[in-house]
Structure 1
Amino acid sequence: MTILERYIFKRAFVYAASSLTSLVLIVWIVQALSRIDVVKTSASAASNIFWIALMLLPDLFAGVLPFALLIGAIQALNSLNSDSERAVISAAGASQAVIARPIVALGLLGGLIMLLIGNVVGPASMSAFQNGIRSINADMITLFLKPGRFEQVQDGIVISIGDVNGATVESLVIADTRDPASDLTYFAREAKIIDEDASSLLLLFDGQLHRRNTADNSVSVIQFQTYAFDLAALRPATDNSWVRASERSTAALIWPDPNDGLYQERPHSFTEELTDRMTNWLFAIAFVLWAIVVAGQPSTNRQGTGPAMTVGLCGGLVLKAAGFVTLSQIEQGVFWVVISYLLPLAAIVLNSVLIWRNFDLAGWAPLQQATTALQDGYAALFGRRRAAGAAR
């Protein structure tokens, strides 16, 4: 990089890092508070909740990083225009590539970080988070529930226990009403918490499952000798199906075990998770290229910097929302997998063509007309309000 390109890269990096810190803290606090109910019955959980919440950070980091890059790049380019530096660069005969190269380098750096998180750090942190929840729920059942009482431990989950001896629970009852279509009640003579594959599992012995259809109140009874429960979600788990796709390594998603319980029940979840890991980093590149399109052209102070940020964020939100939709449709067929890859790649190609052709989005007639209409509407609305206030 030249001195000028390093200057632009540093400026964009600082803005992006500031935006990333703010976004991650806001989202992390919201996510942590939404899970604070897991500590209400467990003192040991209260002491470990901060560590468990930290395990959410890698996924949150990767989720907001493209938007932080977008905001940081637009802020850096807007600041160049505000300080008249962009006009000087253009007057000196520098091409658009001088502006684009450091911003693209920042996007590539962000994309590599997202690849590392998605394929290495993210699965490990998600596994640690789920295991932490399993440990908390195990302590809740064996240490903090009072024998003989029915207690609601989660929304839609009520548990009653008899005597407790270490990791063994006598006379366990679990009522699950989370599914509006059916109510499930598990009765077990004995239950035991065991550790398997570095995670806790609740095994029910010698019991019955009563399933009531809420539509017609019909009840079916299933007798069982053993029944496995995932302590993270308090749901039935068989053949390692309690290990979510987000906790699996990328190699396990590419070459899944045909006998894996989760793969047999929901094979599309493996495809969806793998597609997400392989495409998410492309959005970082698409976003920084979009930032160059909306804010890379020279402008005067009179034009303002607000429209570039507004258009940039709107475009980023639309693209990311489309990505979420395509991922959610993967269970419908392979077609949606292809679309999930094509969506960010098409955005990268389109933005690259617009930059190469030196397209001035701010001078684009439809955008100018829309901006003018919004400004006129805003002025008319507040003009009427001021007039009404003066009349009073």
Structure 2
Amino acid sequence: MTLIERYIFRRALVSSAGSLASLALIVWIVQALSRIDIVKTSASAAGNILWIALMLLPNLAAGVVPFAVLLGSIQTLNAMNADSERAVISASGASITLVARPIVLLGFLGGLIMLVIAHGIGPLASKAFYDGIRSVNVDTISVFLRPGAFEQIQSDLVISVGETNGGTIESLFIQDTRDPKLDLTYFAKEAAIVEQGNQSVLMLYDGQLHRKSRESGAISIIEFQTYAFDLSELRPDAGSDWTRSSELTTYQLLNPDLNDASIQQAPDRTIRELVNRFSTWLYCVAFAFWAVAVAGQPQTNRQASNAAMTLGLSGAVALQAVGFIVASNVGKIPGLSILAFAVPLAAILVNILLIRSGTNVSQLPIVQAIVDLPGRIIGAILRSGQRPGRSAGSGSR
């Protein structure tokens, strides 16, 4: 790269890194706050839930990398226009390729980061996250259960608690309908989790067990002072669909275990995960080209730079929405696997054509009409509100 290209790349990289840190932190905080009640239990519980929440960070960061590249690139190009640097580059006879090359390189760098996370760090972090959720102990019970809420832990298992005070649970309710012959309902004034080796046992104190036969409808009520509920029952066996496709390595997805019940029941999940891992990085490159298309042309200080940012974000969100719709239906509709790659590739091609033709996207008539539309609507409303007043005034004279 030339000196000016290194300068543009460095500025765009710093801006994109700041945008990535901000976006990832915001998304992570939103996810972590949904489980912040665990901090009230104990310091060890808070440490465990913090570790589980940190395992969300790699995949969350990968999801916002394209937008970070877009924001950092547009911000850099806008700043160069504001400082007249872009105009000087253009006046020196350099083509837009000089500006586009470092931005596109940044897009490929972001795509490489996404590939590393998708095929390496992401599955490991996802597995660590769900393993933490599966380890049913006092921490994860607090994660799953909120006081007064009925939480569906599994498809046929509902648990609710009144309060959690450290290792003690008050007013516990469990409805277990996993047995095809019996419906079991547990009530307990108190409960505590006891670790016995590798097993977690939920000890229920001073409660009742209601057993209802599905065949006869007969109900039997058993009162108990102490009752042990094996928490290992909350962990599905190996044949269940508990393991998510996001936890599997790319090698496991390419060579699936055909005896796995989850793959037999929903084979489209494997296909969808593979397509996502191999296609999402293309959006990072597409967004880099889009940033050059909307903000790469030299502009005067009179031309609003925020129009490029607004247009860039609007186009990126629209493209990402189309890609999300396509990706969510991969495996369900034939041919969508190819379309998942075609959407970002088509966007890249269109952006290249816009850049090579020297089109200033933000100055296109249709874009200007959309930008001016709110002002026209407000002006029309104000004019319509003034007309009756002028008519009444002229009539009084």
Match of 1:84 in 2: 84
Is contact 2:49–2:139 with CA below 8 Å preserved after alignment? no
* Superimposed CA distance per residue, residues 258-290 of structure 1 (whole angstroms, 9 cap, x where no aligned partner): 011211111111111111111111100000100
1:17 aligns with 2:21: no
Q: Secondary structure at the match of 1:257?
A: coil
Counterpart Cα distance in 1 of 2:109 and 2:261: 37
Counterpart Cα distance in 1 of 2:32 and 2:46: 12
Match of 1:155 in 2: 151
Q: Secondary structure at the match of 2:159?
A: strand
Where do residues 298-309 of structure 1 align in structure 2 (5 Å cutoff)? 298-309=298-309
Counterpart Cα distance in 2 of 1:63 and 1:105: 19
Counterpart Cα distance in 1 of 2:372 and 2:105: 35
Q: Secondary structure at the match of 1:175?
A: strand
Counterpart Cα distance in 2 of 1:195 and 1:270: 35
Counterpart Cα distance in 1 of 2:386 and 2:28: 41
Counterpart Cα distance in 2 of 1:62 and 1:378: 40
Q: Secondary structure at the match of 1:64?
A: helix
Report deviation, 1:211. 11
Is contact 2:28–2:57 with CA below 8 Å preserved after alignment? yes
Counterpart Cα distance in 1 of 2:47 and 2:386: 55
Is contact 2:148–2:160 with CA below 8 Å preserved after alignment? yes
1:269 aligns with 2:269: yes
Match of 1:45 in 2: 45
Match of 2:175 in 1: 175
Match of 1:138 in 2: 137
**What letter corresponds to residue 264 of structure 1 in structure 2?**
Q
Aligned pair in 2 of structure 1 residues 176, 63: CA closer, same or farther (>3 Å)? Answer: farther
Match of 1:167 in 2: none
**What letter corresponds to residue 80 of structure 1 in structure 2?**
M
1:129 aligns with 2:129: yes
Counterpart Cα distance in 2 of 1:84 and 1:283: 30
Match of 1:286 in 2: 286
Report deviation, 1:127. 0.7
Is contact 2:275–2:340 with CA below 8 Å preserved after alignment? yes
Report deviation, 1:338. 1.6
**What letter corresponds to residue 155 of structure 1 in structure 2?**
E
Is contact 1:74–1:291 with CA below 8 Å preserved after alignment? yes
Aligned pair in 2 of structure 1 residues 2, 22: CA closer, same or farther (>3 Å)? Answer: same
Match of 1:109 in 2: 109
Report deviation, 1:70. 0.4
Is contact 2:149–2:160 with CA below 8 Å preserved after alignment? yes
Q: Which moved more, 1:72-81 or 1:333-342?
A: 333-342
Aligned pair in 2 of structure 1 residues 14, 384: CA closer, same or farther (>3 Å)? Answer: farther
**What letter corresponds to residue 87 of structure 1 in structure 2?**
A
Report deviation, 1:51. 1.6
Aligned pair in 2 of structure 1 residues 379, 79: CA closer, same or farther (>3 Å)? Answer: farther
Report deviation, 1:370. 2.0
**Root-mean-square deviation (Å):** 3.8
**What letter corresponds to residue 113 of structure 1 in structure 2?**
I
**What letter corresponds to residue 346 of structure 2 in structure 1?**
A
Is contact 2:293–2:359 with CA below 8 Å preserved after alignment? yes
TM-score, normalised with respect to structure 1: 0.76
* Count, aligned residues: 342
Q: Which moved more, 1:101-110 or 1:237-246?
A: 237-246
Percentage of identical aligned residues: 46
Is contact 2:17–2:68 with CA below 8 Å preserved after alignment? yes
Larger radius of gyration: 2
**What letter corresponds to residue 271 of structure 1 in structure 2?**
I
* Superimposed CA distance per residue, residues 145-200 of structure 1 (whole angstroms, 9 cap, x where no aligned partner): xxxxxx8786243269xxxxxxxxxxx984269xxxxxx95579xxx99999xxx9
Match of 2:367 in 1: 367
Counterpart Cα distance in 2 of 1:251 and 1:187: 43
Is contact 2:24–2:61 with CA below 8 Å preserved after alignment? yes
Aligned pair in 2 of structure 1 residues 385, 195: CA closer, same or farther (>3 Å)? Answer: farther
Match of 2:376 in 1: 376
* Superimposed CA distance per residue, residues 231-266 of structure 1 (whole angstroms, 9 cap, x where no aligned partner): 4xxxx5541532211100011111101011211111
Unaligned runs of 5+ in 2: 153-157, 162-171, 187-193, 202-209, 218-229, 388-397
Counterpart Cα distance in 1 of 2:196 and 2:126: 20
**What letter corresponds to residue 313 of structure 2 in structure 1?**
L
* Superimposed CA distance per residue, residues 57-115 of structure 1 (whole angstroms, 9 cap, x where no aligned partner): 10110011110110010001111110111111111100010010000000000000000
Counterpart Cα distance in 2 of 1:240 and 1:333: 25
Counterpart Cα distance in 2 of 1:255 and 1:3: 47
TM-score, normalised with respect to structure 2: 0.75
Match of 2:226 in 1: none
